[in-house]
Every structure is written in structure tokens, then in C-alpha cells.
């Protein structure tokens, strides 16, 4: 018989701490990811191109929805004050996901020589 392939959801934390983005760059908006299933995916955030490397965290990273977490904390405070505890519906739970995978992002062009090479290559391609 035919076996159905079961899709597996995998969450990956994008780590911009080594990305060396200029001050004022917003980590919001359009984000393009290329070759996510390779060892070195490329991320484009606006005009900035970053290269990623996967790392496995020692522990788990918990990702929360801020607004739901705040509502849950306020409800918990009320519950403690009133001593009335209620179950929270799934769509109201603040925990979004748990992951151990981290994609550490760095500039795709890391040295002035590489930048000059990339610009030279682009200029050559434009001239042909």
C-alpha cells in the first residue's frame, strides 16, 4: 500500500547577534530565505544578505507570543488575587514553539576584499 509521508514541523531560531547589521536596521518586514535545507542558507533582509550556519543549542529555546504572555500573566495575577483558576484554551496559550536549532547569521560578504570581488564581478556581468 501507499505510505503517506508525514510532514514534520521544525522550528529554527534566527540569531542576528553576529549579523553586523548597521544601527537602525529593522528586523521586520520582508525576509527571503534561500537554501534553508542546506548547511549554509542565505537570508536577505532588505538590502542586507546574510549567510547562516546551523547550531544545536544545549538546552531548549522557548518562543512565546508577547501579547498572549502578557494576557496570561494578567489572568494569573487575577486568579491568584481571586483564587479562581481556569483552564486556558489552546489558541490563548502564550507558548508558540520549542526548538533546539539555531541559525546563526553573519554577513555574506565578510571582508573588504570579498566585497570588492563581489562588486567587480557584478560590474563585469553588467558590462557583458
> Domain limits of the chain?
12-110
How does residue 122 score in pLDDT terms, banded at 50, 70 and 90?
A: very low
Who's near 124: CB < 8 A, 6+ residues apart? none
For 18-38, what is the mean pLDDT? 84
Higher pLDDT, 124 or 10: 10
Specify the length of the chain in residues.
Answer: 128
**What pTM, to 2 d.p., does this model score?**
0.61
Q: Which three cell numbers stand for residue 99?
A: 526548538
Say how far apart CA 54 and CA 108 lie, in whole Å.
Answer: 15
Select from 2.60.40.1120, 2.60.40.2550, 2.60.40.4370, 3.20.20.80 the CATH code of 12-110: 2.60.40.4370
Say how far apart CA 5 and CA 107 lie, in whole Å.
Answer: 36
Average pLDDT, the chain: 77
Beta carbons of 94 and 72 less than 8 angstroms apart: yes
pLDDT, residue 111, reads 54
Considering only CA atoms, give the Rg of the chain.
21
Who's near 1: CB < 8 A, 6+ residues apart? none
Amino acid at each position: 500500500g501507499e505510505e503517506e509521508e508525514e510532514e514534520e514541523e521544525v522550528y529554527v531560531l534566527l540569531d542576528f547577534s553576529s549579523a553586523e547589521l548597521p544601527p537602525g536596521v529593522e528586523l521586520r518586514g520582508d525576509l527571503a530565505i534561500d537554501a534553508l535545507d542546506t548547511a549554509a542558507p542565505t537570508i536577505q533582509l532588505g538590502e542586507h544578505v546574510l549567510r547562516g550556519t546551523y547550531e544545536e543549542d544545549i538546552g531548549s529555546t522557548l518562543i512565546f507570543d508577547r501579547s498572549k504572555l502578557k494576557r496570561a500573566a494578567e489572568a494569573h495575577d487575577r486568579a491568584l488575587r481571586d483564587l479562581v483558576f481556569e483552564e486556558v484554551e489552546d489558541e490563548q496559550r502564550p507558548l508558540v514553539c520549542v526548538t533546539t536549532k539555531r541559525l546563526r547569521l553573519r554577513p555574506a560578504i565578510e571582508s573588504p576584499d570579498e566585497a570588492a570581488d563581489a562588486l567587480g564581478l557584478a560590474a563585469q556581468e553588467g558590462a557583458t
